[in-house]
Each structure stands twice: as C-alpha cells, then as structure tokens.
Amino acid sequence: MRFREFWQLVDEVLGSAHGRELTRSLVIGSLDDRTPEQALDAGVEPRVVWHALCDELDIPEPQRWGTDLGRQAPPRR
C-alpha cells in the first residue's frame, strides 16, 4: 500500500474531515502508543497503520477497502 492509497482509504472509509482528524489525534496501542500520523512519520508502513486504525475502530473487513470493488486488501505483514 502506498501513502496515496492510505489517504484515499481514510477519506473513503472514515470520511475526509473525520478520518483526517482521527489520524492526527487517535493514539493506538499497537502503533507503540502513537497516532497514525506519528507512526507514518516514524516509518511504519502505511498498510500496517491502516490495519491498526481499522482494528482500533472495529471496522469490519469488507468495509475496510472503500468503494473500489476491485481493490485488493493489502496483507497484514
């Protein structure tokens, strides 16, 4: 997953304003108690951050991949 895809999914799945705010403010334990933005800035892969964010928000697997039905889910690791 590329950064562009990460941000596109944030906008599609969480809503652009709400999703962007969550990436700045939601501290996630599985990201070493960092926000998604902090984790990305620290070099954590976008797919790892995306899975952690979705897990933290209890987003069901089928809803994690946005509106593009052809989009493949990135592996967890």
- Residues 21-69 have pLDDT tens digits of 999 999 999 999 999 999 999 999 999 999 999 999 999 988 888 877 6
Q: Which helix (H) or strand (E) holds 11?
A: none
Split at pLDDT 50, 70, 90, the class of 72 is low
Domain positions in the chain are 3-63
Q: How far is CA 34 from CA 41, 63, 69, in A?
A: 10, 24, 31
